[in-house]
Chains A and B, each alone.
Chain A
Amino acid sequence: MNRLMGSIGDVVSQLKQRALSSMELCEAALQRQDSVARLHPFITCTSDVARESASLSQKRYGSGENRGPLDGIPVAVKDNFCTSGIQTTCGSVMLQNYVPTYSATVVKRLQKAGAVIVGKTNLDEFGMGSGTIDSTFGPSKNIYRSGIKYDLLLSNREPDGLDSRFPTAAVEDEDWYVAGGSSGGSAVSVASGSTFLALGSDTGGSVRNPASYCGVVGLKPSYGLVSRCGLISLVNSMDVPGLFGRYVDDVAAMLSVVSGLDPQDATTVPSDLQSLQLPENPSLEGLVIGIPKEYHCPGMKKEVIDTWTKVADLMENCGAQVREVSLPHTKYSIICYSVLNPCEVASNFTRYTGVFYGHRVESSHSMEAMYALTRSAGLNDVVKGRILAGNYFLLKENKNRYFKQALKVRRLISQDFDKVWSSGVDLLLTPVTLSTAVRYSEFNNVDNRTQQATQDFCTQAANMAGVPAVNIPISLNTEGLPISLQLMAPWGQDAALLSAAKWIEQHVNFPRLQVLE
């Protein structure tokens, strides 16, 4: 199915030229969704809605009008974004039967741009996790080495360029590789070609982590540039809708559609990203790239360090100035997050009572009993644990020691970034995860909290400071698994960030996965 391989620019050209129709594209995407169903990227398939959108899109192309770069493009939406009339579960029993009466702003914007929403993707329950194994509906699996047959192409523009250096067969013992989390379903949806783009959410790395494991581009925009209205809250001060795609240009197109001031989200700011156009051939001329030394943390695999080194050296050889910098409070970022996250969660999750929506366990004799039983049944242990911890940190006698202290440390972390930007650094280049995708057998041995604490080391700080960060797949390791790197930029510099990401993409020639059907 070559039509699912290309960039959206290529596909929209074909749609305009009527070489391909929106309905055909939609059917191809739905068919692909079927073929990879055992990876379980989707909780809900929205085929009716998709076909309707595709049909309207086709009519538009027929009459010569089209709504822009996303018209007719199959996209996926993480299941913590409200979609009117379509169940929105957050991967939880609590919202299993919840059908929102409104759509998230980003969803509305995608629909207005003509995007074809083919399904709601799987996630760790309420976005808490880094593997997408903690969902009520079962785990999502990484497509790499999953048993799904695929080829690796050196460049999709040269279909004969098969890359046969890497193993693609399933791993033994029915084991599989985790997709990463919490937006694992969205990452797999894009990696498998079921969609060209997907919405995710990033609070501590939940877009960049699965993007890294699944070998796709994953962007966490600057906090405030993309509306959170309709994104079911986890940590209001850090949540950001995130974007997945196979090409940086595609993600840029999606950003131009979803970003911008929203009167319904008071934490959005105006931006000019609606007219975002990345240069065709970005240049590194005059750019100063910082390498924060603390990001080489214990436990990081050598192949990740080697990749980091090679790309840094490559950028230096090609005109950028590369220098080592320090972000001294990095080591506190995870700990800070381990306090701020539960505090905001404890507050946000008071809404889940079973009274107005969602799961409800009957207890006729007392409201409190009903609440406790409902919440106990509806929320998994990870969520419950965070609520308890959050309430502990917010107790009067603890507030200064934990909550206030964490807020102060957050400022120190943010100031680390400010100092680096003021010293003349334009971008930071770092690893994303400590290793390539972990096997489920290994991953499951460690509890959720410890797992997150380890894997979120390189991604968390960007959420603390609200700066934009993007995951770029670089190469495959000897097991055939993607190794990726991260770029970070000052707040609001998303265009510059994506330009540099595009440069890297153009120069590393990451082998492209093509599913064989």
Chain B
Amino acid sequence: MPKFDKGKSVKISEMALVCQRQIVLRCSWRKLPPRISVSYTIPQQAFATAKKVADKESKVPQHPVFPSINEEDLLPKTVVDLKLVQLLEKLSLVDFANMEGLVRLKAAISMADKLSVVNTEGVEPLVTVLENRSLTLAEDEVRSGDMSEELLACAKETIEDYFVVPPGNITYTEQKGYHHELENSDEDT
């Protein structure tokens, strides 16, 4: 198996000609440093274009590119107060407007705030990556039906053909009382 020395030009005729379909690197490829001196067998079709790359630097950056976001450019932090929490809970109905929920929310906002440094003047929002394509809408035809039994079977509370829900005109959040706890607790921003 011919080896290629760095810095030395290689004659095509020195490369081993093997009638294989694939290029096969012998076992040592894992131990190769970024600058490679390679021994390999070359298929006939790649013969004409085979290049020696041994001397070039790898195209892969060997040092990290640091994604710095200048904190000073950020807009002032939002204050997450009780009123905000009540509003969010009303919209979310997840019973998570407690201390832990708040901590998570603040962390999420803190991360999202970093977006404000990006200059998006004149940039249109991208809602879907398919915006330039014509998408097919389904025909307005009934394709399935008569499944009321199967569908009702999915629900826990049903009466006859009805899904059952408690009365809907009572706001939950005001009754909870944990907002009172939040007000009194020691919050750190």
Using a CB–CB cutoff of 8 Å, the interface residues on chain A facing chain B are 98-99, 101, 223-224, 237, 261, 263-264, 266-269, 281, 283, 285, 291, 293-294, 296-300, 305-306, 308-310, 312-314, 316-319, 322-324, 329-332, 335-336, 338-339, 342, 346, 354-358, 360, 363-373, 375-376, 379, 381, 384-389, 391-393, 395, 401-402, 404-412, 414, 449, 453, 465-466, 475, 491, 506-507
B63 interfacial contact with A, CB 8 Å: yes
Please list 16 pairs of residues, one from A and one from B, whose beta carbons are closer than 8 Å in the complex, sorted by A's number. A263-B136, A267-B135, A281-B22, A309-B62, A310-B34, A313-B60, A332-B118, A336-B115, A365-B166, A369-B170, A384-B94, A384-B96, A386-B108, A389-B108, A392-B109, A408-B125
Task: Scan residues 108-124 of chain B and give those whose CB is less than 8 A from a CB of chain A.
Answer: 108-109, 111-112, 114-116, 118, 120, 123-124
Chain B, Cβ-Cβ closest to A99: B154
The CA-CA distance from A278 to B112 in the complex, in Å, is 42
The reply to whether A354 and B93 form a contact with Cβ atoms under 8 Å apart is no
B12 interfacial contact with A, CB 8 Å: no
Known A101-B147, A237-B127, A336-B115: A318·B136 in contact at CB below 8 Å: no
Among B24, B109, B151, the one with the most A-chain Cβ atoms within 10 Å of its Cβ is B109
Contacts of A393 in B (CB 8 A): 112
The CA-CA distance from A387 to B23 in the complex, in Å, is 52
B17 interfacial contact with A, CB 8 Å: no
The CA-CA distance from A263 to B34 in the complex, in Å, is 50
Contacts of A406 in B (CB 8 A): 112, 115
The reply to whether B124 and A411 form a contact with Cβ atoms under 8 Å apart is yes
Known A296-B61, A335-B111, A375-B94: A408·B124 in contact at CB below 8 Å: yes
The reply to whether B112 and A376 form a contact with Cβ atoms under 8 Å apart is no
| Interchain nearest-CB distance for B10 vs A (Å) | 12
Q: What DSSP secondary structure best describes chain A's contact surface?
A: helix
| Interchain nearest-CB distance for A489 vs B (Å) | 14
Using a CB–CB cutoff of 8 Å, the interface residues on chain B facing chain A are 21-25, 29-30, 32, 34, 36, 38, 40, 45-46, 49-51, 53, 56, 58-67, 69, 75, 84, 87-89, 91-97, 100-101, 104-105, 107-109, 111-112, 114-116, 118, 120, 123-130, 133, 135-139, 147, 150-151, 154-157, 163, 165-168, 170-173, 175
Contacts of B126 in A (CB 8 A): 407-408, 410-411, 414
The CA-CA distance from A237 to B136 in the complex, in Å, is 16
Known A263-B138, A366-B167, A507-B23: A391·B120 in contact at CB below 8 Å: no
Chain B, Cβ-Cβ closest to A366: B170
The CA-CA distance from A298 to B66 in the complex, in Å, is 6
The reply to whether B96 and A267 form a contact with Cβ atoms under 8 Å apart is no
The CA-CA distance from A392 to B105 in the complex, in Å, is 9
The reply to whether A356 and B155 form a contact with Cβ atoms under 8 Å apart is yes
Q: What DSSP secondary structure best describes chain B's contact surface?
A: loop
The reply to whether A312 and B60 form a contact with Cβ atoms under 8 Å apart is yes
Contacts of B157 in A (CB 8 A): 355, 360
Contact of B112 among A312, A339, A360, A370 (CB under 8 A): A339
Contact of A465 among B129, B135, B172 (CB under 8 A): B129
Contacts of A283 in B (CB 8 A): 45
Contacts of A263 in B (CB 8 A): 136, 138-139
The reply to whether B116 and A405 form a contact with Cβ atoms under 8 Å apart is yes
